[in-house]
Amino acid sequence: MQKIWIKGGKPLQGSVEISGSKNATLPVMTAALLADSPTTLENVPHLNDIKTMAEVLRRLGAKVILEDHKLHIDPAGFNQFEAPYDLVKTMRASIYSLGVCLARLGKARVSLPGGCAIGARPIDLHLKGVEQLGAKVIIDHGYVNAEASQLKGTTIHLAGPHGPSVGATVNVLLAATAAQGTTVIESAATEPEVEDLVLFLKAMGARIVGAGTSRLVIEGGQKLKGITYSIIPDRVEAGTFMAAAAITSGDVTLTKAAASHLMDVIQIFRKIGIEVETGPGHIRVKGNTRYQPVDVRVAPYPGFPTDMQAQIMSLLAIVPGISVITETIWENRFMHVFELNRMGADIKIEGSNAVVKGVKQLTGAPVMASDLRASAALILAGLVAEGETEIQRIYHLDRGYERIEQKLSALGADIKRVN
């Protein structure tokens, strides 16, 4: 069992390179199976979720090789249609195999997905989407069984109770590439990761209009070819390092970062009083000691991302005054509150709101990570806390952050991974 050890109190200084986006890589990896020739993906992060998805693709019959930060995918042997429980239980994105198997093989058998325990996260919109394309879907013994002799284009509305679904948009996009006729996705997710998938599919030969918008029009039945494609930067990793610079009153430049994907986050940082400079491929964050409280409401893109909610909470925990964070996406995404309070934070949960009363100083303590982004939030708190912090259950970290402790150490943090 590994843990992260931190001795807080050191301002971060220097530059850090942002890795490729995990949440963009996973659907693009799956989409590579739609091609009739091999694909090479560049700027791929070394993460456990990427390894898990690679194994899913191998179980489906594809050949997958990861070397350095390049991923080679040969779909020639893709002839299996089952994504088994032992893989899908660890990573929700495995559900993307539903759309690609229907598109290429006409049937799919996919275990109901797992991932972080941050809420119910149903897949009803995924199933609604493929059913409207003509697939017959049956859930049996924990598996989604879907079959369609010929998918047919139609108009599909994907708005759910908490806004558009990224996963459902991805699955319908993948399936629609093979549908007969034209598919229109209304209320599609507009996240940069979805836009990156659309651009990847178009580069392979798909005919899609509306990249980056809430209305996607797909003309199905095009022959797709393998290509070489570079993955966009990880906006959540970038936001996490922005928070690390701010919470330690440091001065950090993020390279290979896309400021255009983080405009709402940057706006909140500036409201707090943090200096943020942006330019082509970089973001510079200069912290200070004169911060102001803010209210933050999580919302689908281009709003403030739910994947940054825990990190901004750690920062606001030391900002004088009262801030309110409203979580609108996942009902169980406040589990890190109890661990932050163990470190001296003053945070109260009131329904979907977290009321954060800033304290002068956090103190180091043994804490336990509940999910991926909570792990990052506890690291941020440890960077500024007085004394030593030990974070257990850090296996979540390796699902979404590449060498985070090494990157922070290079910026001057006193941090290490220990057994």
Domains 3-19+233-418 and 22-230 share a fold: yes
pLDDT, residue 119, reads 41
Flag whether pLDDT at 173 surpasses 70.
Answer: yes
Nearest by Cα to 190 from 208, 170, 219 = 170
Measured distance CA(419)–CA(417) in Å, rounded: 7
State the average pLDDT over residues 153-170: 90
The string of pLDDT tens digits covering residues 126-149 is 999 999 999 999 999 889 999 999
The string of pLDDT tens digits covering residues 34-51 is 999 999 999 999 999 999
Instruction: Select the more confidently predicted residue: 26 or 329.
Output: 26
The string of pLDDT tens digits covering residues 224-245 is 999 999 999 999 999 999 999 9
pLDDT, residue 64, reads 98
Measured distance CA(232)–CA(42) in Å, rounded: 9
Flag whether pLDDT at 107 surpasses 80.
Answer: yes
Domain 3-19+233-418 classification at class level: alpha beta
Flag whether pLDDT at 102 surpasses 70.
Answer: yes
The string of pLDDT tens digits covering residues 195-231 is 999 999 999 999 999 999 999 999 999 999 999 999 9
DSSP 34-73: GSSS-EEEES----HHHHHHHHHHHHTT-EEEEETTEEEE
Nearest by Cα to 5 from 390, 410, 407 = 390
pLDDT, residue 114, reads 55
Sheet-wide strand order for 275-279: 13-17, 251-255, 282-286, 275-279
Flag whether pLDDT at 275 surpasses 60.
Answer: yes
- Per-residue pLDDT band at 53 (split at 50, 70, 90): very high
How high is the mean pLDDT of the chain?
95
Written as one letter, the residue type at 241 is: F
- Determine the Cα angle at 388 with ends 339 and 242, to 5°: 70
Contact at 8 Å (CB) between 86 and 96? no
Strand partners, 136: 147
pLDDT, residue 120, reads 43
The string of pLDDT tens digits covering residues 339-380 is 999 999 999 999 999 999 999 999 999 999 999 999 999 999
Contact at 8 Å (CB) between 276 and 243? no
Q: So where are the chain's domains?
A: 3-19+233-418, 22-230
Q: DSSP character for 32?
A: G
What the block records as the tokens of 99 is 């759309």
Catalytic choice (62, 116, 127, 369)? 116
Active site residue 116: yes
Flag whether pLDDT at 1 surpasses 90.
Answer: no
SS3 205: coil
Measured distance CA(357)–CA(317) in Å, rounded: 7
Measured distance CA(205)–CA(185) in Å, rounded: 19
Would you tell me the crossing angle of helices 166-176 and 22-31 to the nearest 10 degrees? 20
Cα 343 to Cα 29, 68, 241, 256, 348, distances in angstroms:
39, 38, 20, 33, 14
Q: Give the whole-number percent of the chain exceeding pLDDT 90.
A: 88
SS3 312: helix
State the average pLDDT over residues 395-411: 95
Q: Which residues contact 45 (CB under 8 A, 6 or more apart)?
A: 19, 20, 21, 22, 25, 69, 234, 402
Give pTM, 2 decimals.
0.95
Contact at 8 Å (CB) between 337 and 347? yes
Flag whether pLDDT at 121 surpasses 50.
Answer: no
What the block records as the tokens of 202 is 């178009």
Sheet-wide strand order for 295-297: 295-297, 322-326, 353-357, 346-350
Flag whether pLDDT at 2 surpasses 90.
Answer: yes
Is domain 22-230 given the CATH code 3.65.10.10 in the classification? yes
- Per-residue pLDDT band at 159 (split at 50, 70, 90): confident
Strand partners, 325: 296, 354
- With residues binned 3-state (H G I as helix, E B as strand, rest as coil), the percentages for the chain, rounded to 5, are 35, 30, 35
SS3 346: strand
**Helices marked H in 106-218 — which ranges?**
124-132, 166-176, 192-204
Cα 305 to Cα 105, 158, 279, 325, 369, distances in angstroms:
35, 19, 21, 12, 20
